[in-house]
């Protein structure tokens, strides 16, 4: 482990709340509200997703990233606004999304999919001028188990995200269905990050992922039990605790805008661990839950009063996320 303190991120068991038990639901919503105000990060258990599926996704991702570069590059995005497929080393910089052009590119490869392989969903959701965002996924021929594992996992995390939204709504004193029309054709991405063993010369100051905030509503992250994920609390970097068979959930910029900054989108990064752990590769599989492209993100009325006026002008979700994603690739 690093010398950084461990973040006081709470662990919340969702099992009874997702099962509909009213007392557990109220307690869970209160815990989500507190964590979202204090840290913008929480660890969830009782999510109902089988660990064997998570293992299958991680194994398939690692198999893909261990292929020769020419095979991986065959599924690289073909043009602008297209963020699906393979992105290689030194091609992304999350720090640049916050205007930090001094931090070197991320020591990371990634593979991304969206939910628009279904032509009915794709045709309904597509927005003129942004068509590449809604294209079918770019699937590699190898390993053959990657596509079914990723499709199954995407569906599970999509369902979990939808099941969590009524808890978020309850925490904000909103009706259970408040988010429904804003996520009907959500633009969520499932991303596999691969951090190779540190056996190469690094750029000065290079990180596996530079300091950034996420862009969308919230992120659900499966991480292997290798340290590296850190969050900034009061200007001090803290390690995020690793708990077996759990997910890390963090809020994104659009949720902070929705909630008038009552809930926080917290700065985080992935550092290179110390000692022998740096010589091991690491896979993380975040699911970025993002509203429908055309959803207008306006401050939620329950977060405004005479002492807390609205901080933000409305933004269109897809335009916000696209601008941030383009900055990552600059």
User: From 3.30.70.330, 3.40.50.1370, 2.60.120.330, 3.40.640.10, which CATH number describes the 11-329 domain?
Assistant: 2.60.120.330
Mean pLDDT of 31-59: 96
Give Cα 13 distance to the centre of its chain.
20
Residues 6+ apart with CB under 8 A from 282: 193, 194, 195, 208, 223, 224, 226, 228
Write down the pLDDT at residue 200. 64
**Closest by alpha carbon to 170, among 329, 1, 14, 66?**
14
Domain ranges of the chain: 11-329
Structure tokens at 164: 């969590």
**Closest by alpha carbon to 61, among 272, 74, 53?**
53
pTM over 0.85: yes
pLDDT tens digits for 148-180? 999 999 999 999 999 999 999 999 999 999 999
pLDDT band at 182 (very low <50, low <70, confident <90, very high): very high
Angle value at C-alpha 2, between 197 and 98, nearest 5 degrees: 75
pLDDT of residue 60 exceeding 60: yes
* Range name among 2-6, 67-71, 72-76, 248-252 with the lowest pLDDT average: 2-6
Helix, strand and coil percent figures for the chain, each rounded to 5: 35, 20, 45
More confident residue, 93 or 17: 17
pLDDT band at 187 (very low <50, low <70, confident <90, very high): very high
User: Do 286 and 191 touch, CB atoms closer than 8 A?
Assistant: yes
pLDDT of residue 1 exceeding 70: no
Q: How many CB atoms lie within 10 A of CB 128?
A: 5
φ/ψ of residue 209, rounded to 5: -140, 125
Question: What's the rounded Cα separation, in Å, for the pair 180 and 135?
Answer: 23
Terminal Cα distance for the chain, rounded: 33
Write down the pLDDT at residue 263. 98
User: Do 268 and 231 touch, CB atoms closer than 8 A?
Assistant: yes
Residues 6+ apart with CB under 8 A from 313: none
pLDDT tens digits for 210-222? 999 999 999 999 8
């Amino acid at each position: 482990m690093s010398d950084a303190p461990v973040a006081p991120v709470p662990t919340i068991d969702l099992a009874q709340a997702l099962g509909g038990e009213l007392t557990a639901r109220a307690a869970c919503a209160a815990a989500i509200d507190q964590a979202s105000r204090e840290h913008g990060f929480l660890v969830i258990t009782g999510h109902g997703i089988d660990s064997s599926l998570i293992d299958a996704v991680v194994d398939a991702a690692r198999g893909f990233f261990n292929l020769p570069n020419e095979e991986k590059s065959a599924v690289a995005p073909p043009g602008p606004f297209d963020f699906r497929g393979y992105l290689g080393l030194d091609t992304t910089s999350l720090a640049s999304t916050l205007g930090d052009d001094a931090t070197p590119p991320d020591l990371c490869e990634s593979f991304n999919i969206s939910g628009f392989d279904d032509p009915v969903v794709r045709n309904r959701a597509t927005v003129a001028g942004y068509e590449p965002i809604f294209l079918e996924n770019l699937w590699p021929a190898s390993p053959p188990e990657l596509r079914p594992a990723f499709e199954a996992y995407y569906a599970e995390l999509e369902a979990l995200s939808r099941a969590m939204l009524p808890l978020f709504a309850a925490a904000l004193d909103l009706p259970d269905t408040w988010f429904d029309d804003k996520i009907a054709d959500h633009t969520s991405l499932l991303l596999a990050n691969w951090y190779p063993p540190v056996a190469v010369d690094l750029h000065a100051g290079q990180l596996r992922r530079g300091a950034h905030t996420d862009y969308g509503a919230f992120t659900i992250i499966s991480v292997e039990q290798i340290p590296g994920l850190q969050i900034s609390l009061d200007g001090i970097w803290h390690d995020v605790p690793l708990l077996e068979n759990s997910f890390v959930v963090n809020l994104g910029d659009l949720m902070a805008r929705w909630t008038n900054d009552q809930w926080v989108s917290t700065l985080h990064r992935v550092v290179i661990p110390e000692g022998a752990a740096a010589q091991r590769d690491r896979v993380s599989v975040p699911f970025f839950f993002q509203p429908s492209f055309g959803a207008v993100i306006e401050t939620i009325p329950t977060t405004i009063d005479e002492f807390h006026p609205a901080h933000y002008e409305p933004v269109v979700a897809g335009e916000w996320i696209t601008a941030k994603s383009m900055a990552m690739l600059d």
